[in-house]
């Protein structure tokens, strides 16, 4: 990838959820937002040559972006079989290599990695759903890059004991109407992209 724009374009072609599962909060990460976050990590030596885990990978956009930017290996971890199959199809369509697909809960995944990248549930359907992802990430890596509601900054600093929390970017996430009970075609949520580093 020669530019952030080229990365965003490539990610925009990935297939998204046809029938997202409500209680899993399966909203596809916007390709422009994914490219912005990943390109920043790429330019700061956070991806190239690294072994990474994409926890709750969904359609695989974050992990696939990492592979496009030179990651040595990416573990795509997802408990929903339909989602992991979707991520694998996207991976195969781009003819990528060095991806491993793990169909299990994130807390069951125990391989140590250089960094975790994740966009966990925001806890709309199940309060504190993101804690499972944080616990899993802190168990397998000293470095975590994670999307959370912007208002979660204080919570992250308290919950991630022994880690430094830094807000890298803030975005307006667009959540599109995917369920019958959604009243608006688009709903915007203020989201932060956080770097969570283990203290030495």
Domain ranges of the chain: 4-198
What architecture (CATH level 2) is domain 4-198?
3-Layer(aba) Sandwich (3.40)
Tens digits of per-residue pLDDT, 48-87? 999 999 999 999 999 999 999 999 999 999 999 999 999 9
**Band (19; pLDDT cuts 50, 70, 90):** low
Token look-up 């998204």 returns: 16
pLDDT > 70 in the chain, percent: 86
Mean pLDDT for the stretch of residues 26-38: 88
**Band (181; pLDDT cuts 50, 70, 90):** very low
Is the model's pLDDT at 2 over the cut of 50? yes
**Band (1; pLDDT cuts 50, 70, 90):** confident
Mean pLDDT of the chain: 90
Q: What is the pLDDT of residue 183?
A: 58
Strand ranges of the sheet holding 73-77, from the earlier edge strand across to the other edge: 99-102, 73-77, 51-55, 115-118, 143-149, 186-198, 163-176
């Amino acid at each position: 990838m020669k530019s952030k724009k080229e990365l965003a374009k490539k990610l925009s072609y990935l297939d998204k959820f046809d029938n997202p599962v409500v209680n899993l909060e399966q909203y596809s990460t916007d390709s422009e937002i994914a490219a912005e976050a990943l390109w920043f990590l790429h330019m700061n030596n956070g991806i190239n040559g690294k072994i990474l885990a994409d926890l709750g990978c969904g359609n695989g956009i974050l992990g696939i972006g990492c592979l496009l930017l030179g990651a040595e290996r990416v573990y795509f971890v997802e408990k929903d079989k339909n989602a992991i199959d979707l991520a694998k199809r996207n991976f195969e369509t781009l003819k990528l290599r060095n991806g491993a697909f793990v169909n299990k809960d994130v807390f069951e995944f125990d391989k140590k990695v250089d960094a975790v990248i994740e966009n966990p549930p925001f806890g709309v359907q199940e309060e504190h759903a993101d804690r499972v992802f944080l616990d899993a990430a802190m168990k397998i890596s000293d470095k975590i890059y994670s999307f959370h509601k912007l208002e979660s900054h204080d919570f992250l600093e308290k919950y991630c004991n022994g880690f430094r929390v830094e807000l890298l970017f803030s975005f307006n996430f667009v959540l599109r109407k995917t369920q019958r009970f959604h009243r608006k075609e688009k709903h915007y949520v203020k989201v932060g992209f956080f770097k969570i580093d283990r203290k030495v």
